Structure 1
Amino acid sequence: MQPTVLARDAWTPRAVAHAERVDAWIQPHLERRRRGAAHPVHDFLFTYYSHRPSALRRWHPGYGVTLLDAPEYSDLKGYCRIVPHVPHPSGAETDAEREGLSVSDDHLAAQRPLIESIRRLLVATAERPAALGCFGLHEWAMVYRAAEVRHAWPLRLGASGTDTVVESHRIACSHFDAFRFFTDAARPLNVLQPARDDRAAFEQPGCLHAGMDLYKHAFRLGPLVPSELVADCFALAWDIRELDMRASPYDLAGLGYEPVPIETPEGKATYVAQQRAFAERAAPLRQRLIETCARLLAAT
């Protein structure tokens, strides 16, 4: 990885552009949180995933980039002071004036097991063909024969109608972090039994949650990866989440979401077409993460 040195007037526009981009997602969530309101679709990316809005908003250049005149990064985890071995862009001569901040080699080395694990999962996922026959039934299995539902919104078909859909379909969820929320009654109905430690044996690129999780993998690699990549993955996850809930058993028409009725042939066709489009959109992001992981591992 070739080292890069950025003066403040070079990196500040990137940091500002990143903050402005993610604010379109973050600020409505923070406003709802202040009001004590909840959104069953859009809050998911902030509540299920462990990345705080403030952390998403903070821009990082990624490993191998030194930021000059960046005191706001001096106390951030993973950063260290460094004297670049390249000419200072301003022409300054003293080491003090040339000192910058960069993600440290020690931090990279400490993250090697995580990088290896993420790359292994991403490569295994990318090598499988996309399976497009799940029809989003994971959300239905999460409320199957349940005394309480996960969201405070009515079920489109009612409890008995929802149960009938689950019982009349083949359930084939390959994603452990969706499967683990199945009700006790629904779990044995799944033809696959993914577990916490064998994700690489099951995940496949057609899965909506595997696409959303690209955001999780990206932010877990921070600050080693550029924040632009994290934001690209978040944008994908945001759009996937809308389909995920439109195809769910919940009636979200009051929020402006037209349902994708996967219990009908027409709804299934709509779901599969959009699922395929998201798989195609996720593929280059997954590849960018794989290549980033490979470069980071080579750098250690």
Structure 2
Amino acid sequence: MRVVDRLNDDERAAAHAARLAPYVTPHLERRAAGVKHPVHDFLFTYYNFRPAQLLRWNPGFEVESRTSGSAERPTHSQLARVAQVHELLVATAARAGNFGCFGLHEWAMVHGSEENRHPMPLRLSAADTDRVTESHRITCSHFDAFRFFTPSAVGMNSLQPRSDDRPAYEQPACLHGGMDLYKHAYRLAPLIGSDLIADAFELAWDIRILDMRAAPYNMTGWTLDPTGEEWTPVAIETPEGKAEYVRLQREFAERGAPIRAALIAACERVLSTCP
């Protein structure tokens, strides 16, 4: 049992806020100053969960129901959302991970384009960046990455996922699928507890860093907030970079597996409690 499990609700709320403050506070300060961070702002701008919501702690539907007997039962729309998330997570967990994608989705997002998706220069020339993209087999299974491919790169993807067939494609090694565990977690709030949401957020934070380190951008001068370490690229166009990418991808897949399993179990508890 973790120490936090023995705390009362006020103490757990304070511990939760303290845990996430190193991520949230710099974002709020940047936002107030009108400064954007192309990597660390992603979890606050792409995902629809406000910083105040992330910092707020709740015990979750099951704990509240068990301890007080007064928790409100989920609505029909909430139950439909739980069932949808459950279907996707179960399908993802049952599928073998693809450790041969090498983060090429970010390269396919700038293929043949005169503009970058982020306000940073490319590490290689535009022509060399295109050659890297074209010389690899692209196997992007995540629709929310695939939908940002440039028109010239769409046909290069060996898979063609759509927004309505995610359970048929999602796989547990996908970086974006790992980040989306955070989305699935907060979409289930307050039916699940904030501790699990925080676990998913921290995983998504670390995955986003790899996602951009393996992207074709030159991020010299950017640091790994809140650690302050300097960025270093994962040069997936080289054998060494590929090996590093796969090693980190496996670590994230291993970290994501228990979070996914906990979300599946939480969904099943809610669905069984509220037929």
Q: TM-score scaled by structure 1?
A: 0.84
Which of residues 149, 170, 174 is equivalent to 2:137? 170
Q: Secondary structure at the match of 1:185?
A: helix
Q: Distance in 2 between matches of 1:277 and 1:205?
A: 11
Identity of aligned residues (%): 58
Q: Deviations over 1:74-131 (max 9, x none)?
A: xxxxxxxxx956xxxxxxxxxxxxxxxx5411x3443111001101000000001111
Whether the 8 Å contact between 2:62 and 2:192 is mirrored in structure 1 is no
Q: What is the aligned partner in structure 2 of residue 260 from structure 1?
A: 234
- Deviation, 1:64, is 3.6
2:114 maps to amino acid = A
Whether the 8 Å contact between 1:62 and 1:226 is mirrored in structure 2 is yes
Q: Distance in 2 between matches of 1:191 and 1:10?
A: 51
- Deviation, 1:35, is 1.1
Q: What is the aligned partner in structure 1 of residue 14 from structure 2?
A: 16
Q: What is the aligned partner in structure 2 of residue 80 from structure 1?
A: none
Matches within 5 A, 1:273-292: 273-292=247-266
Q: Deviations over 1:175-214 (max 9, x none)?
A: 0000001111111110000000000000000100110000
Does structure 1 residue 104 correspond to structure 2 residue 78? no
Q: How many residues align?
A: 260
Q: Provide the alpha-carbon RMSD of the alignment.
A: 1.5
Whether the 8 Å contact between 1:65 and 1:103 is mirrored in structure 2 is no
2:72 maps to amino acid = S
Whether the 8 Å contact between 1:103 and 1:224 is mirrored in structure 2 is no
Matches within 5 A, 1:1-300: 10-66=8-64, 84=68, 103-105=71-73, 107-255=74-222, 256-300=230-274
1:42 maps to amino acid = H
Whether the 8 Å contact between 2:93 and 2:172 is mirrored in structure 1 is yes
Q: Secondary structure at the match of 1:297?
A: helix
Q: TM-score scaled by structure 2?
A: 0.91
- Deviation, 1:147, is 2.1
Q: Distance in 2 between matches of 1:103 and 1:178?
A: 37
2:132 maps to amino acid = V
Q: Secondary structure at the match of 1:254?
A: coil
